[in-house]
Chain A
């Protein structure tokens, strides 16, 4: 077993672009779920409209990448309004039902033959982010530290992706510690109380849904851009639950929760994956018990086990507040 490979795999994954994309999407979800108490089960839908907003604008309509970003953002705002208008005056469950359905409807719609002229259907769209990579100011070379190496292309993606994470975490820190944040946290606790004090709960929930959704769409754009490709089947409903998993892992309702959660989630997931493969390769695990092809599923089972232990022993998440958590049991 080569521990160096396992560790470098885990580290590369933990600080990789996918971890950054998930951290960003989870920051949006944290605004919904962690601060406002909105049950958005369709964050993946926001990522999808963002990704396709960029991809289709550039590939299909020949617009610039920046125009594509604006289109993606506009799509996410429209989606949030469509989801929010009928459901945000009702109880929390209705938003949950609408969002989980919308995520899947969007995926099926974008991959349909009918939408193929714009979205590329099941084939998706490719090579729409050349502008992004042409803008890379980092000289061609290999950059490494400790066990891992990055090309200048990888480094550019990482810089932008984590830069966006830092930017939105900063914005979020300012917002949730402002009077606006006080209102949305109060809505999470008891919206009738907030209503009785003269605040329009509906308007605040809508603002939260729109802004968190827009952050999700930016995460989707970043995912599409770094892959130079979009495919509707990447945007499965289950991804939203990975976002919830890492949010709970890090600590919901904390600015750093989604970031720490995402890094840890991807590092641990890859650690198990790599370690199991190494163990099988080295003969520690007999192929009769577990074959290399089954590792992908088992690693999720192990992450699930880890999460269960976390919920039992540290229900508030890594950076959550135990005192706040205990108030619920009173």
Chain B
């Protein structure tokens, strides 16, 4: 972890679930989501600090991805509400959430294989005149805008080292390159906050380092990043703040070192009563 304004802002906060942040961008309040009898998500309170990297950890089935889906409009919540940048976005459709500036990526990358890398990037630009059906027949009305979009797309492709693949079908990219493309594409939306669902899953160690570099660079430029990850080393290395979920709820949060030592986190990962062998039968 490096010292930066985000860590400074978060220093000295209580390390307990649902703690108030000095400048929250995303505020989650009493959100629940149940599938039949199983409560997948039950988050009483969660705030994501603006301009910081927030790592969301937790064992399999802790409800991290479901929480992502609910907040980004890809799933509905049963109860609760959440605000983004001061606006209530509870229950908004996914595309409206994205337009507000909250853009997410997916655990299984969703690159558009039969479009070129550049087309993938161009798609994501917002406010395109040529995306209106009637105006699509009148290229002079959108050519200029299209040129600007290409310029910005090329800058991002350069930054994510995908320029050489510009004209290739996205379907020909390797797994790691797809993760890079998805991240670059999300940035084309000019989001205020980016939510990455397991950005390192299935990526080789060398590329992981480069992905991490991109994420910290984004933070340093003022972007708010929230990401789900399993690899504890990765999470501890770059997060300014770590939130741990287990069985649908937030069980701990705090700076990485503090969360790493938190008994609730160790319990969540290793099972409750791991230090009390006489109670082993209770684990089920």
Contact = CB atoms under 8 A, between A and B. Distances in A.
Interface in A178-222: 178-183, 185-186, 188-190, 192-201, 207, 211
Contacts of B142: 178-179
B9 interface: no
A323 interface: yes
Interface in A116-151: none
B94 A196 contact: yes
What interface size band does chain B fall in?
A: 35 or more
Given A180-B131, A185-B115, A327 B106 contact: no
A171 interface: yes
B74 A193 contact: no
B104 A179 contact: no
A207 to B, nearest CB: 5
B114 A189 contact: yes
A194 B185 CA distance: 11
A196 B103 contact: yes
A92 interface: no
B171 interface: yes
A179 B99 contact: no
Given A179-B130, A182-B119, A323-B169, A196 B98 contact: yes
B106 A196 contact: yes
Q: Of residues A178, A180, A186, A330, which shows the largest number of chain B Cβ atoms within 10 Å of its Cβ?
A: A178
B133 A180 contact: yes
Contacts of B126: 198
A324 interface: yes
A196 B107 CA distance: 13
B113 interface: yes
Given A183-B131, A189-B114, A198-B98, A171 B123 contact: no
A164 B110 CA distance: 38
A311 interface: no
Contacts of B137: 171, 174-175, 178
A200 B139 CA distance: 22
A330 to B, nearest CB: 6
B95 A179 contact: no
Contacts of A193: 106, 110-112
B146 interface: yes
A182 B104 contact: no
B114 to A, nearest CB: 5
B124 interface: yes
Interface in B124-154: 124, 126, 128-133, 135-137, 139, 142, 146
A198 B171 contact: no
Contacts of A201: 95
A185 B169 CA distance: 13
Contacts of B105: 196
Contacts of B135: 178, 180
Contacts of B132: 180
Contact of B123 (A175, A182, A192, A324): A182
Contacts of A197: 95, 98, 103, 123-124, 185-186, 188-189
A193 to B, nearest CB: 4
A183 B135 CA distance: 14
Given A182-B131, A197-B95, 9 more contacts: A179-B131, A182-B123, A192-B74, A194-B95, A195-B74, A196-B105, A196-B106, A197-B98, A197-B189
Interface of A: 171, 174-175, 178-183, 185-186, 188-190, 192-201, 207, 211, 323-324, 327-328, 330
18 contacts: A180-B130, A180-B133, A182-B122, A183-B123, A186-B112, A186-B115, A189-B113, A192-B94, A192-B110, A195-B74, A195-B98, A196-B98, A197-B189, A199-B95, A211-B133, A324-B114, A324-B169, A330-B172
- Nearest first, the 8 A-B pairs at minimum CB distance are A179-B130, A327-B171, A178-B136, A180-B136, A198-B98, A193-B110, A189-B112, A195-B94
